[in-house]
Amino acid sequence: MLKIAVIDGQGGGIGAYIIKALKEAFKDNVEIIALGTNAAATANMMKNKANKGASGENAMIWNCYKVDLIIGPLSILIANGMMGELTGKMSEAIGNSSARKFLLPINQEGVEIIGVVKEPLPHLVEKLILQIKEEFNV
C-alpha cells in the first residue's frame, strides 16, 4: 500500500484540502499520514480522514523516512518556512528522504518558480491526483 505523508503548518488548510481529495480519489487504497508543524495543523488535517497524524519536528523527521510519497507546499523545503514553523531540520529531513516529493508551487515564502503557470489550489490538486495515479498505479 502506498504511504503518503501530507505536510502542512499554520492552520493546515492546504493539507486538509489535499487529504480530502486523496481520500475521494483513492479511498482506502493509500495510507495517509498528516504531518503538521503544530497540533492545530495536524488536527485540521485529521478531520479529513488521514489514517494517522503527528505534530512537531521529531515526528516529521521520523516519518519522512517511512513513506513513499511526500506532498505539501513548496515551502516545506525551505528552512524557516511557514512563518518560521518549519525548522531547518524538518526541511533537511524532507529533502533527504528517499520518498518521491510532489510539491505545490504555492507562493508563501516569496519564492517564484520561473516557468510554472500560477493556478488555484483546486486545479493543482487535480493535477496532483493524476500524477499519483500515473506514477504509482493506484
Q: Give per-residue pLDDT as tens, 54-111.
A: 999 999 999 999 999 999 999 999 999 998 999 999 999 999 999 999 999 987 778 8
Total domains present in the chain: 1
Provide the residue range defining the domain that includes 27.
2-136
The dihedral region occupied by 40, where left means phi > 0, alpha psi between -120 and 50, and beta the remainder, is alpha
**CATH code assigned at 58:** 3.40.50.1380
Weakest mean pLDDT among 49-58, 105-114, 123-132: 105-114
